[in-house]
Amino acid sequence: MKWPILLDEIETIDSYKRFGKVTRVIGLMIESKGPESSIGDVCYIHVGSGRKKQRIAAEVVGFREQHVLLMPFSTIQDISPGCIVEATGKPFEIKVGMNLIGKVLDSLGRPLDGSVLPKGLRSISIEREPPNPLLRPPIHEPVEVGIRLIDSLLTVGKGQRVGIFAGSGVGKSTLLGMIARNTNADLNVIALIGERGREVREFIERDLGPEGLARSIVVVATSDQPALMRIKGAYTATAIAEYFRDKGMNVMLMMDSVTRVAMAQREVGLAIGEPPTTKGYTPSVFAILPKLLERTGTNECGTITAFYTVLVDGDDMNEPIADTVRGILDGHFVLERSLANRGQYPAINVLKSISRVMNYIITPEHKTAAERFRHLLSVYINSEDLINIGGYKRGSSKEIDEAIRYYPKLLSFLKQDTHEKFTREESIDALLHLVHSG
Ligand SMILES: Nc1ncnc2c1ncn2[C@@H]1O[C@H](COP(=O)(O)OP(=O)(O)O)[C@@H](O)[C@H]1O
Ligand SMILES: [Mg+2]
């Protein structure tokens, strides 16, 4: 570093260390007198004495009267009134770089297996503003996800953000794993938030597999982690994806599930005394969701295509989180248990799903074929009950006759085995061929 620069650094350096003291611990929340800090700053709480001395990282989540409200990143058993609180004056940072590819990390960006981080990484803050909407290039090019029905009937664009709405056990993890293995995106960043430990292992070993992991970075915050860590997991994954987007890459971000992030935020909100609104969700939940989901998409360097899973009980698509998320994103895919029960995997209900970008990025020929496919399928589905009870007489309607004739082909087009892979060209060719097959 040159001398004048060093002098500048010295001019602006903050040579004060700011300290405070713990006054109360209420449930998940620690209240302290001081230090001077702002929301989102990391503080260290010094606990124990002598050899057992350690510092616990915590985040400023609010203020009450003259007190600072802190939430720790780990469990809080050793914290007591009088413990010293040291301010760092900055939000949480993680280390990121190319060498993270293939790694499984915790919410704070540390390898989950306890190994040390590789060298050559850079520190970045996990909080960031979404790209300026006026500087965002429009989505103009499809991304290949390698799922036939998506690439042909629900084409996703590079930088598009899609919600995957589903109950449990209908094939979300399997689908995300398939996308991670099959896509032509440069890199996957996968956030597993609020899952049980067993599910995480299953996802990494079975759904993603070694070939998927080799082109992914996985961030894990299991359900037993403190609420704040589950929230951080979502931010950390998003920040990692942003880092690679700024390097000009086309990144695929998958977050399973955004509902669990919202639930964690609700826990924090209730603990700091926010009023509960719909379904107990606090106002901050509806404030952070758009901020988090708007960070992905395109910017002037690269793209982040994002899939956010949303848990829906039964078919309640109007549940507050589902409703909010659907409004923010540029498309939603609905996975249905009734399809899964019939063995129709991936269990995406094409007629209830939409990609809002599709028609801007595909050829007219492709568009016409996709519309015809949807039409044939909807004609069949609308008369399915009638057909099944034998109440439909062949010849009564040309349209229904045609749909019945096509249905077996439509159905086998929609199905895809876990280890089958199709390129975008193959999927579109198959679609064009199918709808003109008579
Ligand atoms: N494409 C598929 N082909 C065959 N079976 C599938 C497929 N997708 C999901 N399944 C079945 O559904 C089960 C549940 O899937 P999973 O992805 O774990 O659901 P979720 O993550 O929604 O709980 C799997 O164990 C598997 O048997
Ligand atoms: Mg799952």
Q: Which atom of ligand 1 is nearest to the CA of 309?
A: 22
Distance CA 199, CA 204 (A): 9
Ligand 1 center to 252 CA (angstroms)? 21
* Ligand 1 mutation target, pool 145, 174, 422, most atoms within 8 A of CB: 174
Q: How many CB atoms lie within 10 A of CB 24?
A: 13
Distance CA 253, CA 331 (A): 15
What b/e sequence results for 84-111 when a residue is b if at least 16 CB atoms lie within 10 Å of its CB, and e otherwise?
bbebbeebbbbbbbeebbebbbbbbbee
Q: How many CB atoms lie within 10 A of CB 417?
A: 9
Q: Which atom of ligand 1 is nearest to the CA of 170?
A: 22
Indicate if ligand 1 lies below 6 Å from the C-beta of 174: yes
Ligand 1 center to 171 CA (angstroms)? 4
Exposed / middle / buried, residue 295 (Cβ in 10 Å: 0-12, 13-18, 19+):
buried
Length of the chain equals 438
Going by alpha carbons, the residue nearest to atom 7 of ligand 1 is 345
Q: Which atom of ligand 1 is nearest to the CA of 169?
A: 23
Q: Integer distance in angstroms from the first to the last C-alpha of the chain? A: 73
Ligand number nearest to the C-alpha of 171: 1
Output Rg (C-alpha) for the chain, integer angstroms.
Answer: 25
Ligand 1 center to 428 CA (angstroms)? 25
Given this model, what pLDDT does residue 10 score? 76
Ligand 2 center to 256 CA (angstroms)? 8
Ligand 1 center to 267 CA (angstroms)? 30
Going by alpha carbons, the residue nearest to atom 8 of ligand 1 is 171
Ligand 1 center to 196 CA (angstroms)? 16
Ligand 2 center to 205 CA (angstroms)? 13
Handedness of CA 313, 316, 319, 324 (dihedral sign): positive
| φ/ψ of residue 426, rounded to 5 | -60, -45
The helix-helix angle for 424-435 and 398-414 (nearest 10°) equals 160
Indicate if ligand 1 lies below 6 Å from the C-beta of 169: yes
Indicate if ligand 1 lies below 6 Å from the C-beta of 103: no
Q: How many CB atoms lie within 10 A of CB 283?
A: 12
Distance CA 411, CA 64 (A): 59
Ligand 2 center to 169 CA (angstroms)? 7
Long-range pairs, 267-272, Cβ under 8 A, ≥24: 267/28, 267/227, 268/28, 268/61, 268/71, 268/227, 268/228, 268/231, 271/26, 271/27, 271/28, 271/29, 271/71, 271/227, 272/29, 272/61, 272/62, 272/64, 272/69
Going by alpha carbons, the residue nearest to atom 5 of ligand 1 is 345
Q: How many CB atoms lie within 10 A of CB 276?
A: 13
What would the 3-class secondary structure string for 193-260 be? ECCCHHHHHHHHHHHHHHHHHCCEEEEEECCCCCHHHHHHHHHHHHHHHHHHHHCCCEEEEEEECHHH
Tokens of 139: 């989505």
- 332, 150 Cβ separation under 8 angstroms: no
Indicate if ligand 1 lies below 6 Å from the C-beta of 166: yes
Tokens of 211: 């070939």
Distance CA 310, CA 261 (A): 10
Given this model, what pLDDT does residue 123 score? 92
Average pLDDT per 10 consecutive residues for the chain, totaling 438 residues? 72 78 88 91 89 88 91 82 91 93 94 89 92 91 96 96 93 95 96 94 94 96 92 96 96 96 93 87 93 95 96 79 92 94 95 95 96 96 86 85 93 95 96 88
Given this model, what pLDDT does residue 8 score? 79
Given this model, what pLDDT does residue 1 score? 57
Q: What is the dihedral of CA 82, 83, 85, 86, to 10 degrees?
A: 120
Distance CA 145, CA 181 (A): 9
Going by alpha carbons, the residue nearest to atom 10 of ligand 1 is 171
Indicate if ligand 1 lies below 6 Å from the C-beta of 168: yes
| φ/ψ of residue 93, rounded to 5 | -120, 150
Given this model, what pLDDT does residue 54 score? 87
Q: Which atom of ligand 1 is nearest to the CA of 335?
A: 22
Tokens of 302: 């690269």
Helix (H) or strand (E) holding 70: strand 67-72
